[in-house]
Structure 1
Amino acid sequence: MTANEATPLRVAQPQRATFRLLGSAMVAFGIFLSGFVIDEPAPYELWMAALVGIWFILGLRISRFTAPLLVLLLAFNVGGMLSLTQMKDLGTGPMYVAVSTFLALTAIFYAAIIEDSHRRLALIFNAWACAAVITSLLGVLGYFHAFPGAEVFTLYDRAKGAFQDPNVFGPFLVPPSLYLVHGILVGNLRTSPVKAFALLILALGVFLSFSRAAWGLFSVGIALLIFCMLLKERSGAFRLRILVLSLAAIILLVASLVVALQFPKVSALFTARAQLVQQYDGEHLGRFDRHRIGFTMMMERPLGIGPLVFGTMFPEDEHNVWLKSLTSYGWLGFVSYVAMLCWTIYLGFRNLLKDRPWQPYLMIAWIGVLGHAAIGNVIDIDHWRHVYVLFGVVWGCAALEQRHRRSIAQCTSTHRPCEPASAR
């Protein structure tokens, strides 16, 4: 090859690197926007709709490792489209299914870009943490009416940040909280005070959301994270560090909550919300009664009854993701969603403790998916944007693991040195 022939290749490489860097920055900005959903369509939808389209037009590929996620989520939304045929008045039903389809595409998109480069995981979680700290701070300041008009960041005397609902706001803060906890336990001690302060803001936001699901998700999530880290680390000194720092963080969080409970308004609402079963849960046609009636009714409705129809038949919506899958997506949607969720949990569990550059992010996302599956028994999560990010992270990391195994096998068969996973 002559020097003139080689020149275009040298020019093209920096251009490609620039496009990849710009694309990653745009993804990080999209994740950041997910923390601000006061009205719909939110800036997140508009930004990600354009971004997903551009990436796929420019050649982003879906590998055979992430194809099952695509198939299951498409089947889930086909079930939603079929449920529209059962509605007498379509109303907002088509838009609901369109949003579901869009969110499914974002999960596939995140899986694909993570498989393309595991370095994007750090960008995603850093952007998520920044958005969480800002929206949590807005919720805390709004709760205490720190400035005129701050009440826009609260609902029913509960912090909601830049969200429409405290029950979404609280769980949104949990994965970045786990990310900060992990950073404190394994990162540089000099940066720990900054991360601890950010974690304190998130913990206060979770607490003031007065969401029982968020409280459980936060506490159990941190316990699971510490347990998994102790399983993974074999060094006695490192395990001791994890235990000491964990104990210090718990003491700090408990002390902060004790201070918050000194405010009569906070204490009164905490006492009311801390009851395991509220009146609207156990009363006639309450949450649990609706679950029983709804599941019985759906045994005779294979195509479902259509999105948002359940709430017109009963005092409130389903507040159960499994029942929501049946009513709004039919039997096809229910089976697809359960299969996708079980497969996601299996993939994460299988790769949970392997020493890879992407392992911390997989651990956090897997705990997040597991926790959201649990709280899905008492709340609808099928339209929560951050849940689809978690799905994408788990599947993207699973695809990275498959590529890593295939690379090792090829190196072994050809007797050549293997490139470290961190370099790919």
Structure 2
Amino acid sequence: MSSIGTVDGGAFTAGSKGFGFAVLRSKTGRLLDILVGFWVFTGAMVFIEPSPYEVSFAAMLPVAILAGMGLYRSTFGLLAIMIGFIPFALIAVFQVRITPLDDALIFTAVTIFLLLTSYFIANYLAEDTTRRSRIVIGAYTAAAVVVSLIGTLAYLRLIPAADLFVLYGRAKGTFKDPNVFGPFLVLPAMFALQRVLLLKGRRALFAGMVYGILFVGVFASFSRAAWGHFAFSSIMVMGLVFWLEAAARDKVRIMIMSLLGLVMLGVALAGLLSIPAVSSLFEERAAGQSYDQGETGRFGRQGYAWDLALENPSGIGPKEFRNLRVSEDPHNSYVTVLLVYGWGGGFFYYLLIVLTLWRGFAALARPSPYRLIMIPLISTFVMLVGESAIIDTDHWRHYFLIAGMIWGISTAIRNDHRSGAPREQMVI
């Protein structure tokens, strides 16, 4: 690394070359890894605000500075998006008429904070990428497995205080809403699926168990969007691994494993549906929902929201829409960001999505040791982008975490010119 104001390998870092500072950096670097793992793990605990996720991130930032974490040129786009977004978002805050101003400010501050988390994780993963990716994905997977078990067991009424982890008869785990709980489980499930497809023996078996636990958790959320998200992300992971990473003999194995997996998931699903209460709720959720229809239904609200957004270039401010003709939000992030942050804020939000997708797919097109890390990330993010058209995702913590991870891995791919590495080392 280099001193401030100079460039080394695309990273800007601050510090001294003295022995004492080198020792401090080494120790704080190890502490930073621990704190990052803890921070990611707390992403599953959002039933209170501010959540442990916010508190642990604030505690982690000074350690990152002491550890001399690099800031990379190719992640500057994320910082520029955040800087460009802030003035428009603050202007929109002062458009509120009914919502208390302090509530509106807090809402916008959370959005800015989430953009900052994307920038942080992008730079964290851009250096020492494989080892740090294992820390992040390991912590995320542990959190997802724990919360999936809690949600599933609570749904089945097999643990004390089950009502704390269930909402409207659907598993929500340690989240406020089943519609956030379900999608949160998808990314670690995709990494587990990739391990099942490419590894053998105990590692593949353990990954299969993780995938199964997360599948059941997503099912118990009874979120139709999460069901589709899980299914299509799984298909995308299998397709990309088959096309980009599998050798000829691997392709035969992947096809066999995919068929066996479908049979096992079908058996698990049949077992769940044999429970009368589960079967009844499944039929209800699989059918059309009354709140999607009519002028004040989901799609009626979205039409009204688009009209309102076009009439208000500065936005109407956070939480204001629900105080107008209808009492619920539009449940469409693409119109919500225009209403809440104005046209300027909405533009930068759209820019974040477009650039993240572009960087993700551009990285897939280039042979690299880190492409195996990118495959589950882009497969999950693509579906999050689609899901955003039917639900508000602009405050989903894992959405911004995944976006930042894509920028970090794509930065590593740009900076490391190797075309490959032993698979055992790179499968996360």
Question: What TM-score do the two structures reach when normalised by structure 2?
Answer: 0.90
2:7 corresponds to: none
**Cross-structure match for 1:321:** 333
After TM superposition, list the pairs within 5 Å mapping 1:25-424 onto structure 2: 25-56=34-65, 58-88=67-97, 89-118=100-129, 119-233=131-245, 235-275=247-287, 277-313=288-324, 314-405=326-417
How far 1:15 moved relative to its partner?
5.2
Spell out structure 1 runs of 4+ moving beyond 4 A.
Answer: 8-15
Q: Deviations over 1:110-144 (max 9, x none)?
A: 00111122021111111111100000000011001
d(CA) in 1 for partners of 2:63 and 2:247? 46
Q: Which residue identity does 1:241 align to in structure 2? A: R
Residue-by-residue CA offset, 1:164-202 (whole Å, 9 max, x unaligned): 110000000000100110111112322222222221111
Counterpart of 1:62 in structure 2: which amino acid?
L
Q: Give the letter aligned to residue 131 of structure 1.
A: A
Contact 2:25 2:67 in 1 (8 A): no
Q: Is the 8 A contact 1:29 1:127 kept in 2?
A: yes
Q: Is the 8 A contact 1:72 1:336 kept in 2?
A: yes
Q: Distance in 2 between matches of 1:402 and 1:299?
A: 39
Q: CA deviation at 1:369?
A: 1.3
- Please tell me the residue identity of whatever aligns with 2:303: R
Query: Over aligned residues, Cα RMSD in angstroms?
Result: 2.3
Give the number of equivalent residue pairs: 405
Question: Residues 298 and 268 (structure 1 numbering): CA distance in 2 closer, same or farther, change over 3 Å?
Answer: same
Shift of 1:78: 2.9
Aligned mates of 2:396, 2:115 — CA distance in 1? 11
State the percentage of identical aligned residues.
33
Q: Secondary structure at the match of 1:145?
A: coil
Where structure 1 has 5 or more consecutive residues not aligned to the other structure, the ranges are 1-7, 409-418
Query: Bigger shift: 169-178 or 353-362?
Result: 353-362
**1:352 Cα offset (Å):** 1.1
Contact preservation (8 Å) 1:121, 1:358 = no
Give unpaired runs (5+ residues) of structure 2. Answer: 1-16
Contact 2:25–2:66 (CA under 8 A) maintained in structure 1: no
Using the TM superposition, give the Cα deviation of residue 353 of structure 1 relative to its aligned residue in structure 2, in angstroms: 4.6
Residues of 2 paired with 1:58 and 1:18: CA distance? 8
TM-score (norm 1): 0.90
Deviates more, 1:213-222 or 1:119-128: 119-128
The answer to whether the 8 A contact 1:73-1:340 is kept is: no
Residues 1:194 and 1:61: Cα distance change in structure 2 (over 3 Å):
closer
Report the more deviating stretch, 339-348 or 193-202: 193-202
Equivalent residue letter for 2:76? A
TM-fit CA distance, 1:18: 3.5
CA distance in 2, matches of 1:106, 1:360: 23
Query: For residues 67 and 393 of structure 1, what CA distance do their matches in structure 2 show?
Result: 14
Q: Which amino acid aligns with 1:33?
A: T
Structure 1 residues 245-285: Cα deviation after superposition (integer angstroms, max 9, x where no partner): 1221221111101100011111111101112x411011221
